[in-house]
Amino acid sequence: MTTAHPQAGAHGPPGPAESNYLTDGTGLKSWLFTTDHKRIAILYLFSITFFFFLGGIAALMIRLELLTPIGDLMESDTYNRMFTIHGVIMVWFFLVPSIPTVMGNFLVPLMLGAKDLAFPKLNLASWWVFMIGGLLTFFVILLGGVDTGWTFYTPFSSTYANSAVTLMATAIFIAGFSSIFTGINFIVSIHKLRAPGMTWFKMPLFLWAIYATSLIIVLATPVLSIALLLIAVERVFGIGVFDPALGGDPLLYQHLFWFYSHPAVYIMILPGLGVVSELIACFSRKPIFGYKAVAFASMGIALVGFLVWGHHMFVSGQSVYASQVFAFLSILVAIPSAIKIFNWTATLYKGSIGFETPMLYALGFIGLFLFGGLTGLFLATIAIDVHVHDTYFIIGHFHYIMVGGMVTAYMGAIHFWWPKATGKLYPEWAGKISALTIFLGFNLTFFPHFVVGYLGMPRRYHEYPPEFQIFNVLSTAGSTILAVGYLFPLVYLAWAYKFGKPAPSNPWHATGLEWQTPSPPPKHNFHEIPVVTEKPYAYTAPEEEDKS
Amino acid sequence: MSAATPASQRSLAEHFVEVRQQEEARTIGMWVYLGTEILLFGGIFGAWAVYRYQHGEAWREAAHHMDLWLGAINTAVLLLSSLTMALAVHAAHALQKKWTLLFVLATVSLGTLFLGIKAYEYMQEIHHGLAPFAAPIPVRQAFTPATELYMNLYFAATGLHAFHLISAIALLGGFILWILKSGLSADRAATLEILGLFWHLVDVVWIILYPMLYLTR
């Protein structure tokens, strides 16, 4: 593999002579008020890492309480607040922003061959708004949290809940603007800032996934905003839209909430699918199989994802005919998802597969996403859903997608683009150990949920019948392994940033414009705007690489 | 769309290659944002459509509580403000500072007039016990659940619209101060065009709200 770079200095040792985005400007102010998309990505990285571990602590508390069938660690009310904190933080302050705001902010302009996103100030504003929402949520947690669950079902949330619901809803409302700003920025950048020659079908699949995600963000988030706004209006002014006692309709809330929150699941998973497409192609040394099918599958998931929200309401009293349509459409989502899985496996076929850390995450992702997706088919089927509704089966299903899928893809992305972002290599052995630890810990934590859920253990209770204890002990044991798996990268990545070996500009011999600029990239990304002539994923067989 | 001022008079942010690209990016960005606004109100529109179907007769009755004339006058006021807004953008692209200020001021005034009429309408409704949340208990019990929901959605929808109008007025007010302080330029004309898009959106939302709430009787 030749590393032919048009830029000067890429061949020589990456010495400190050249300034990059990390060194260009020092001091706290140069970071907090930066409009450089790469620095904003780093700001987001620190912020969401904080929220991830905050939500993780809540998760560990839940798991510790469930170690025994009786409520010994906390009371039911504390437990309610704990799982609400876990849900709210993880959904809105980690999963929704995760890959878009960290990897997307960093990579979208680089992959497009642009100097920045279309609206750099809006991008900075999105981080500030995110932090205002996040810190307000943190403040609500310090006040004692909220006991409604992350779904804020009415009329409990709008009338009866005796906690800081309005404040928490406000915080999430504010964070919604951050999502919308990011979504607008990505859509406009992908439309208007593609480098010469970068046609839509030469874009990396990560960009297609981010584009589909952004469309969902801008179309779904406002509906969450209106739902939360109406809750606040009902609590503060007594204008009852949801509470039957005030003339409202609680089912309306569920419709509005899931009209956002089901597409939000795709906001969370689509960027992960995009990352995995990049990783699979790179570490199989093959062009991705069926590029257009994978690209359109992202758009298909985004489209159909808007038409399935009613599958959360099979037992809520919506019309049975509506339920049947929603069930059918929900099952339809399996098709574009399966297209992706089949195309990845076809890409792996006869590939020259390398098992570097990012690839371990990508392969883990395929398995876990498949498992989460297939159990999703169970849940889309009305008869089974009625049986397992609000049980641990659901918890198992969406954690396989959200944690097994999205967090795994996020970790893979962090490891894949870490050398590009920091200019340092992390120790490969440490990366591999943590990837395997996470995979094992994850399965031990969440696989028992399917079993215990199918047997009938309901979610959101701090006590349970003693016969379920063995599964809960397994799960709690797994969660501690998982915690170690997530903490370890903090250690070795921090070590690598300080003491790691300098990274070349293209350590994985990957295609894509982001690898054609030095590591770390200079402030304006490219010394000269690249011109794209090759197809994406123009990987060559390794024999040919050896020759060069 | 905005070819009135030559590109050479515009400033170009360093991450764009040419002015046209920058203009298009900003315009698309604003349109996408307007899309999010439509979805925000869309939640209420959608709910309204479903309930109109569910509570057909009761909601037709409820619509009679609306003051048709105040609503009609307000619609005219807001449509007129869209005209002055468009004229302001036109004048700004021709760099006619005086006319720009005049038309923006007219737009702001019409917007404020709308809010004044709306406030009067709210007061009348509260006075006649049509606001369930402000009505004394015995009056409140006279509401059928369907009527109560109608009135609640009416206040939520028009309140949210009024909030948007207040924001739009504040933005245009800020623009007036900006122009008075440091003059009009081709760049600022482009900014006014983007602000104008937002103003028209607020107008369009009302054009949906008016028939929805007042005319379906």
Using one digit for the tens of pLDDT, what is the confidence trace for A200-227?
A: 999 999 999 999 999 999 999 999 999 9
Containing A319, the helix (H) or strand (E) segment is none
Can you say whether the dihedral through the CA atoms of A276, A278, A280, A283 is positive or negative? negative
Task: Assess A195–B contact: CB distance below 8 Å, yes or no.
Answer: no
Q: Which pair of tokens denotes residue B132? A: 């369930």
Calpha distance A356→A428 (Å, rounded)? 7
Task: Assess A530–B contact: CB distance below 8 Å, yes or no.
Answer: no
Which residue's structure tokens are 């800020």?
B174
Calpha distance A331→A323 (Å, rounded)? 12
Q: How confident is the prediction for chain B on average, in pLDDT?
A: 91
Q: Which pair of tokens denotes residue B106? A: 């007219």
Phi/psi-derived region of residue A532, left when phi > 0, alpha when psi is between -120 and 50, beta in every other case:
beta
Question: In Å, how far are B161, B164, B171, B178 from B167, measured between CA atoms?
Answer: 10, 5, 6, 16
Which residue's structure tokens are 């933080």?
A89
Q: What is the ipTM of this complex?
A: 0.90
- Across the range B168-194, mean pLDDT stands at 95
Chain-centre distance of CA A191, in angstroms? 23
pLDDT of residue A545: 55
Helix (H, G, I), strand (E, B) or coil at A340: helix
Asked if the Cβ–Cβ distance from A247 to B51 is below 8 Å, we say no
Cβ-nearest to A247 among B13, B44, B143: B143
Reported as a pLDDT band with limits 50, 70 and 90, residue A248 is confident
Among residues of chain A, what percentage have pLDDT more than 70? Answer: 95
- Across the range A388-409, mean pLDDT stands at 96
Task: Assess B31–A contact: CB distance below 8 Å, yes or no.
Answer: no
Reported as a pLDDT band with limits 50, 70 and 90, residue A542 is low
pLDDT of residue B12: 87
- Across the range B110-129, mean pLDDT stands at 94
Reported as a pLDDT band with limits 50, 70 and 90, residue A188 is very high
Reported as a pLDDT band with limits 50, 70 and 90, residue A240 is confident
Among residues of chain A, what percentage have pLDDT more than 90? Answer: 87
Calpha distance A106→B3 (Å, rounded)? 34
Asked if the Cβ–Cβ distance from B47 to A191 is below 8 Å, we say no
Task: Assess B12–A contact: CB distance below 8 Å, yes or no.
Answer: no
Cβ-nearest to B156 among A117, A183, A233: A233
- Across the range A367-395, mean pLDDT stands at 95
Task: Assess B172–A contact: CB distance below 8 Å, yes or no.
Answer: no
Q: What is the pLDDT of residues A417-469, one digit of tens each?
A: 999 999 999 999 999 999 999 999 999 999 999 999 999 999 999 999 999 99
Query: Has residue B137 got a pLDDT over 90?
Result: no
Query: Has residue A189 got a pLDDT over 70?
Result: yes
Q: Which pair of tokens denotes residue A326? A: 């929603």
Query: Has residue A199 got a pLDDT over 70?
Result: yes
Q: What is the pLDDT of residues B87-111, one digit of tens each?
A: 999 999 999 999 999 999 999 999 9
Contact A11, A412 (CB under 8 A): no
pLDDT of residue A10: 42
pTM (predicted TM-score): 0.93
Q: What is the pLDDT of residues B71-84, one digit of tens each?
A: 999 999 999 999 99
Q: Which pair of tokens denotes residue A18? A: 């050249």
Parallel, antiparallel or unpaired: strands A424-425 and A501-502: antiparallel
Nearest to B163 by CA among B124, A223, B171, A132: B171
Query: Has residue A161 got a pLDDT over 90?
Result: no
Query: Has residue A474 got a pLDDT over 70?
Result: yes
Calpha distance A328→B56 (Å, rounded)? 30
The Cβ-side half-sphere exposure at A76, using a 13 Å CA radius, reads: 8
Query: Has residue A17 got a pLDDT over 80?
Result: no
What are the phi and psi torsion angles at A500 (to 5°)? -65, 160
Reported as a pLDDT band with limits 50, 70 and 90, residue A15 is very low
Q: Which pair of tokens denotes residue A520? A: 């770390």
**What residue of A is the nearest CA neighbor of B24?**
A192
Residue B112: exposure state from Cβ atoms within 10 A (0-12, 13-18, ≥19): middle
- Across the range A96-117, mean pLDDT stands at 96
pLDDT of residue A543: 58
pLDDT of residue B14: 85
Q: Which pair of tokens denotes residue A521? A: 């990239």
Which positions in chain B touch A118 (Cβ < 8 Å)? 15, 25, 29
What does B142-181 look like in DSSP terms, one character per residue? HS-HHHHHHHHHHHHHHHHHHHHHHHHHHHHHHHHHHHHH
Q: Residue A391 carries which DSSP code?
A: B
What are the phi and psi torsion angles at A319 (to 5°)? -60, 140
Query: Has residue A230 got a pLDDT over 90?
Result: yes
Task: Assess B122–A contact: CB distance below 8 Å, yes or no.
Answer: no
Query: Has residue A135 got a pLDDT over 80?
Result: yes
Asked if the Cβ–Cβ distance from A241 to B153 is below 8 Å, we say yes
Q: Tell me the longest C-alpha to C-alpha distance in chain B.
A: 68
Residue B197, amino acid: L
Q: Residue A18 carries which DSSP code?
A: S
Task: Assess A245–B contact: CB distance below 8 Å, yes or no.
Answer: no
Q: Residue A537 carries which DSSP code?
A: T
From A251-260, A337-346, A352-361, B137-146, the region with the lowest mean pLDDT: B137-146
End-to-end CA distance of chain B: 39
Which residue's structure tokens are 């996103």?
A117
pLDDT of residue A444: 97
Calpha distance A443→A479 (Å, rounded)? 9
Query: Has residue B38 got a pLDDT over 90?
Result: yes
Calpha distance A362→A351 (Å, rounded)? 15
Q: A458 forms bridges with which residues in the sheet?
A: A391
| Residue A36 CB neighbours (<10 A) | 25
Query: Has residue B134 got a pLDDT over 90?
Result: no
Question: In Å, how far are A51, A145, A153, A445, A540 from A58, measured between CA atoms?
Answer: 11, 11, 21, 15, 46
From A14-23, A128-137, A171-180, A427-436, the region with the lowest mean pLDDT: A14-23
pLDDT of residue A16: 47
- Across the range A122-134, mean pLDDT stands at 97
Q: Which long-range contacts (CB under 8 A, 24 or more apart) does A513-518 make?
A: A513/A110, A513/A111, A513/A112, A513/A113, A513/A195, A513/A198, A514/A107, A514/A110, A514/A111, A514/A417, A514/A420, A515/A420, A516/A5, A516/A6, A516/A7, A517/A7, A517/A110, A518/A7, A518/A9, A518/A10, A518/A14, A518/A18, A518/A20, A518/A423
Calpha distance A274→A417 (Å, rounded)? 14
Nearest to A44 by CA among A141, A205, A179: A179
- Across the range B30-54, mean pLDDT stands at 93
Cβ-nearest to B32 among A114, A193, A218: A218
Containing B211, the helix (H) or strand (E) segment is none
